[in-house]
Amino acid sequence: MTTHDLTRTDGDGPLAASLFVRSLSPEGARAEQEAVIERLRALRDRGVLADLSLTIWGSRLRPTSARRTATGRELLDTIDRLEAWADRQDPPRSLCLDSRTVRSTITGERETEFVLPLLCLAVSENGRLQCVAPWHEGEAVHSVTDCLDAISDPARIDAHPPTEDLDPLSQ
């Protein structure tokens, strides 16, 4: 995992965004990732975002091996906190984070593996998480772009009612 600090030192915007981007993405996904990054930078430059961080993660994460490194433990903690936030929403939301069981070709043991999304965005206001995307509720999918649209237009922020939960990324 590589984290790049894109924090604006003179920013006075009320929102902070943390974007997680998959490395070695499938062909065609890179343009979407770059467009989201540019859009977040534009929101930061307009003062809508006070803070912006970018974290590069892989395509999969196996908890057993991830727990062996500080970076892996940090990613597992972040995933746990984001999922806990989604579970506490009314109605509960399902993050677009898949898991599957895999078998080691060496040991034959089975373990769970997370399949990380191409993009994951967490937006907080005054330390309170406002939006994590992508997520789905039934058939409806709420994308990173939907979240960006909402924070770009204050009249649409109601699509992301605030919670009393602290931002899991700042804990």
The strand order across the sheet containing 110-115 reads 60-61, 110-115, 98-103
Which of the two residues, 133 and 160, has the higher pLDDT score? 133
Instruction: Give me the phi and psi of 97, to 5 degrees please.
Output: -125, 110
Q: Report whether pLDDT(120) > 70.
A: yes
CB 77 within 8 A of CB 85: no
Name the DSSP letter for residue 165: P
The pLDDT value recorded for residue 37 is: 96
Backbone torsion region of residue 47, taken as left when φ is above 0, otherwise alpha when ψ lies between -120 and 50, otherwise beta? left
For 84-118, the pLDDT digits (tens) are 888 888 888 888 888 999 998 888 999 999 999 99
Q: Report whether pLDDT(11) > 90.
A: no
Q: Report whether pLDDT(156) > 60.
A: no
The pLDDT value recorded for residue 7 is: 38
SS3 assignment, position 148: helix
The pLDDT value recorded for residue 136 is: 87
Neighbouring residues of 7: CB distance < 8 A, sequence distance ≥ 6: 51, 52, 53
